[in-house]
Amino acid sequence: MPPKVYIILLNYKIWKDTIECLESLYKLDYPNYQVIVVDNPTKPANDSLVHIRQWAEGSLSVDFPQNALSYLSSPSIQKPISFQYFTQQDIEEKKAQGNGSSNLILIQAQENKGFAKGNNIALDYCMQQADFEYVWILNNDTVVEKDSLKALVEYYEVHKSTGLGILGGKVRYYQQPDTLQCAAGATYNKWLAHSRQIGNGQKDIGQFDNQDFKFDLVIGACTFVSRNFIEKVGFLGEDYFLYFEEQDWAERGKRKGFHLGYTHKAIIYHKEGSTVGGNQLAVNSINALSDFYYARSKVIFTKKFHKGLCLMTVYLSFIFILLNRVRRKQFNRIPMLLKILFNPKRMYEDS
């Protein structure tokens, strides 16, 4: 039997996106995997897991937009889908033993503590399962080509002896399926605490179908790692709430002797920003919450790993960030961003 893979989706509000992703995942041609959905709760509650359970049982039908990618999620897979349900407390108390036969694991988080914490609940569950070998962390607003998981496993199996840590794939925009969001991930400028996604906005004509390019992190929308990597490096860093979790994992992995990898044969399509708002193809669409946490996380990451002169230049870069908000007439964001400089641990709701 091929290595067992757990696929993690973190749901927040947009349960229809999660179901569309699940429909595509259950068309994968890889024979040995289970899907875990962790629900980060909302206030007020929107009953996301209720809807996902109803879909799995076959009592809820969900229609998706008809577009060039409809073949990835349609026709709908046969229901019911067997599932197990656990709470965060079950995971933490080591009471969540998978039966190995359920296709879907549903986990309810107690509260929304961000991207890393939500995924870490699922990673904790994975580490408690004897059959766990690999994990594929996907954004819930993605759909995948059916051979993508097989490509990831095959690449990792061939290269794991070289110290491969985090493996990425090719991420295209859902709304523009011939256009790259990125190949693997991004380069990172530590002096400005700024990442630049590889190939972002370019038509995909195969220009990144090899690994002869430099990248410093693998995008969190499509991240594939092994049990061995997690045992040596640990879970995702929970310092950030949103953004920079990828940089943190990559940096910690590098310091443990791991390197990054990329296979162009694993292709996913990402809606980007459907949960928190905004995307790189429309900069002015980035909402205040995303703006706040990106700026906050760059300060936290730099303090954690670089400090010194790097931290000074990152602070100076806020001058240009603030001038940009003036140019965009986003005057109400200036006090919010200034507060980060004095207290980067501040949360968005406190600003």
Domains and CATH numbers, the chain: 5-270 (3.90.550.60), 287-350 (no CATH)
Q: Using DSSP, how many helices (H) and how many strands (E) does the chain show?
A: 11, 13
Determine the angle formed by the axes of helices 288-305 and 333-342, rounding to 10 degrees: 20
Task: Inform me whether the pLDDT recorded for 230 exceeds 80.
Answer: yes
Higher pLDDT, 147 or 322: 147
Bridge partner list, 84: 105
29-53 pLDDT tens trace: 999 999 999 999 987 778 899 999 9
- Strand bridging mode 33-39 / 5-11: parallel
Mean pLDDT confidence for 264-275: 87
pLDDT in tens, 279-297: 544 555 578 888 999 999 9
**pLDDT score at 71:** 97
Q: Are 232 and 35 in contact (CB under 8 A)?
A: no
Which residue stretches of 256-307 are H helix?
Answer: 288-305
> What pLDDT does residue 42 have?
85
Q: Radius of gyration of the chain from Cα atoms?
A: 20
Give the angle 25-28-29 at the CA atoms, nearest 5°: 170
* Residue 284 confidence (pLDDT): 58
User: Which segment of 95-104, 156-165, 227-236, 284-293 scores lowest on mean pLDDT?
Assistant: 284-293
* Distance of alpha carbon 45 from alpha carbon 60, whole angstroms: 19
Each residue of 9-35: pLDDT tens digit? 999 999 999 999 999 999 999 999 999
Confidence of residue 347 (pLDDT cuts 50, 70, 90): confident
Q: Is there a contact between 198 and 184 (Cβ–Cβ < 8 Å)? A: yes
Residue 180: pLDDT over 80:
yes
Query: 100 pLDDT exceeds 80?
Result: no
**Contact between residue 274 and residue 157 where contact means Cβ atoms under 8 Å apart:** no
Are the CB atoms for 242 and 290 separated by under 8 Å?
A: yes
Q: Quick one: average pLDDT of 254-264?
A: 98
Prediction pTM value: 0.94
Using the predicted structure, report yes or no on whether residue 188 has a pLDDT greater than 60.
yes
